[in-house]
Chains A and B, each alone.
Chain A
Amino acid sequence: MKFILSVWRQPSATATGRLVDYPIDGIGADDSFLEVIDAINENLMAQQQEPIAYEMDCREGICGSCSLMINGSAHGPQRATTTCQLYMREFSDGETITVEPWRADALPVIKDLIVDRSAMDRIMQSAGYISVHTGEAPDANEILVSKHRADRAFEAASCIGCGACIAACPNASAMLFVAAKVVQLALLPQGQPERCHRVISMVEAMDREGFGNCSNHYECAEACPKSIPLSVIAHLNREFLQAGLFGREFSAAAHRVVHEE
């Protein structure tokens, strides 16, 4: 198969970027999308040119590092699929495919197709954890969790933190990500001691990073490679309201960070 990849090239965070066309031939239908970029990079390096910078980790659809906006869709046209699990049979022969990095002021471009997702890490650092003594693994069924609850927690916990929800949202809102991270712990017994603190701190952290507000466009769940349901956002709203009204005091009024260019 033959393709033209129109790829966003940006030498550094501060440089201005542009789309550059790379024709490529001899691609198999069962080659993965990242393998096509690898092929282009090999050609570029053979010509002593700078290869395309992109995140290329696990290639098993579980690490969340591949993060490409392909023809305006996060992780490409196939639903519930990460870019690394996307195969060229999803495209038509001879197609021009536009490849861009995630776009959100909170996730600035570092180089070419790589964005800085530290904002998401800072949200996790604010309270996306449980404080427990580590050590030996506890006995199975020591703490009972109903099947239904475990399934819903697992559904939320399947978030790989890739940021597709943010990239797909017209408002660049991180609500689906934050909701998944809050809900996975709110549903389980281990998450209860820090439940109020967690939801308030994580929402405040999200606001500080300058993500947009959720206005219920539902693009996030469409784009999510792990099919995290929209209902986790409502669950987050519920958790937040409950904690805000009945939980601990707020740490501080949320101050939104306006990112300067």
Chain B
Amino acid sequence: MNRLLNLLNTSIGRKLVVAISGIFLLLFVIGHALGNLTIYIGPSALNSYAHWLQQSPMLWLVRLGMLAIVTLHLWLGIKVSLENRSARRIAYQAGSSLWQRLFEQRMLISGLIIFIFIVAHVAHLTLGAAADATFYRVDERGFVDVYARLVTAFQTPTIAWSYITAMLLVGIHLKHSVRALFQTMGFFHDNYFSLFEGLSWLIVLFVVIGLCSIPLAIQFGWLNHAVAGLSIPSLTGPRFA
């Protein structure tokens, strides 16, 4: 055990922990995107999927596990970034432009914003902070009406566009991660460069297009017609905040 702690305490060991926790987060995001895409099958498909998740005995185990993994990933990510900054405290005069510096720091910046987004997202759509009656609606089978919840929430342009922005940042974060994690795990080889490059684009495009399409579709009114009998607050009453 002591040996393992020593291993994880080195620079390479810590990056390994970031990479392994990142794999879990990556799988979670892919699974989340796949699940959410059931919205295009229809309200009952999405609500059944949500019901299947909510009644699962693994629900809290997964939730607590994800919380631990996010904490570890974030903590080590910040620690490594701070060390990296202190490794060159005098910058080059003919240095990089502001955009290049932002690009170099993109993992930390996008990571921190994504973390804030996750907290807001859980409060918004899971815990129902500032929720109205629509949030607690159940469908005809007695399942929580997640479909109505989403359609109501994404009627508000600011919410829809903040989600889309957050997903673009997830895309930027993932684009770097997929190839980097193979390198950190030691799989990287010059022959596989284009394979990993392709794989990372595939994952990024799937996650970003998949997850952005939902608020976009609701904004453009492509999904509203399916919410039969739902009085949408943004259209009839006070706006969903």
Q: Are B84 and A173 in contact, CB atoms less than 8 angstroms apart?
A: yes
Closest beta carbon of chain B to A21's beta carbon, Å: 12
Q: Are A233 and B183 in contact, CB atoms less than 8 angstroms apart?
A: yes
B24 at interface by CB-CB < 8 Å: no
Q: Are A230 and B88 in contact, CB atoms less than 8 angstroms apart?
A: no
Chain B residue numbers with a CB within 8 Å of A170 are: 84, 88, 96, 104
Chain A residue numbers with a CB within 8 Å of B149 are: none
Q: Are A215 and B84 in contact, CB atoms less than 8 angstroms apart?
A: yes
Chain A residue numbers with a CB within 8 Å of B86 are: 105, 210, 258
Q: A69-B94, A104-B88, A216-B179 are in contact. Are A241 and B83 (CB under 8 A)?
A: no
In the complex, the number of residue pairs spanning A and B with C-beta atoms less than 8 Å apart equals 127
Q: Are A69 and B88 in contact, CB atoms less than 8 angstroms apart?
A: no
Cα–Cα, bound, A105→B90 (Å): 8
Closest beta carbon of chain A to B163's beta carbon, Å: 27
Closest beta carbon of chain B to A261's beta carbon, Å: 8
A235 at interface by CB-CB < 8 Å: yes
Chain B residue numbers with a CB within 8 Å of A244 are: 3, 6-7, 10, 13
A129 at interface by CB-CB < 8 Å: no
Chain B residue numbers with a CB within 8 Å of A204 are: 10
Q: Are B15 and A213 in contact, CB atoms less than 8 angstroms apart?
A: yes
Cα–Cα, bound, A261→B89 (Å): 10
Q: Are A240 and B94 in contact, CB atoms less than 8 angstroms apart?
A: no
A254 at interface by CB-CB < 8 Å: yes
Q: Are A216 and B183 in contact, CB atoms less than 8 angstroms apart?
A: yes
Cα–Cα, bound, A210→B171 (Å): 31
Chain A residue numbers with a CB within 8 Å of B21 are: none
Q: Are A172 and B179 in contact, CB atoms less than 8 angstroms apart?
A: no
Q: A105-B89, A170-B104, A250-B3 are in contact. Are A212 and B186 (CB under 8 A)?
A: no
- Of residues 89 through 130 on chain B, the ones whose CB sits less than 8 Å from some CB of chain A are 89-96, 104, 107
Q: Are B107 and A215 in contact, CB atoms less than 8 angstroms apart?
A: yes
B54 at interface by CB-CB < 8 Å: no
Q: Are B92 and A100 in contact, CB atoms less than 8 angstroms apart?
A: yes
Chain A residue numbers with a CB within 8 Å of B84 are: 170-173, 212-213, 215
Q: Are B11 and A19 in contact, CB atoms less than 8 angstroms apart?
A: no
Cα–Cα, bound, A21→B100 (Å): 26
Mark interface residues in B60-103 (1 if CB within 8 Å of A CB, else 0).
Answer: 00000000000000000000100111111111111110000000
Cα–Cα, bound, A171→B87 (Å): 6
Chain B residue numbers with a CB within 8 Å of A233 are: 183, 188
Q: Which residue from chain A places its CB closest to the CB of B19 in the assembled complex?
A: A237
Cα–Cα, bound, A249→B13 (Å): 15
Q: Are B104 and A231 in contact, CB atoms less than 8 angstroms apart?
A: no
Mark interface residues in A162-199 (1 if CB within 8 Å of B CB, else 0).
Answer: 00000000111100000000000000000000000000
Chain B residue numbers with a CB within 8 Å of A172 are: 84, 87-88
Q: Which residue from chain B places its CB closest to the CB of A249 in the assembled complex?
A: B3
> CB < 8 Å: which of B13, B92, B93, B180 contacts A215?
B180
Q: Are A231 and B188 in contact, CB atoms less than 8 angstroms apart?
A: yes
Q: Are B6 and A213 in contact, CB atoms less than 8 angstroms apart?
A: no
A245 at interface by CB-CB < 8 Å: yes
Chain A residue numbers with a CB within 8 Å of B13 are: 244
B185 at interface by CB-CB < 8 Å: yes
Cα–Cα, bound, A113→B123 (Å): 54
B51 at interface by CB-CB < 8 Å: no
Chain A residue numbers with a CB within 8 Å of B179 are: 216
Q: Are A254 and B188 in contact, CB atoms less than 8 angstroms apart?
A: no
Q: Are A203 and B7 in contact, CB atoms less than 8 angstroms apart?
A: no
A89 at interface by CB-CB < 8 Å: no
Mark interface residues in A73-111 (1 if CB within 8 Å of B CB, else 0).
Answer: 000000000000000000000000010100111100000
Closest beta carbon of chain A to B161's beta carbon, Å: 30
- The 3 closest A-B CB pairs, nearest first, are A238-B186, A212-B87, A234-B188
Question: Footprint of A on B, CB under 8 Å?
Answer: 3, 5-7, 9-16, 80, 83-96, 104, 107, 176, 179-180, 182-190
Can you list 7 contacts pairing A with B, beta carbon distance less than 8 Å?
A: A72-B92, A171-B87, A234-B187, A237-B16, A241-B16, A256-B83, A261-B89
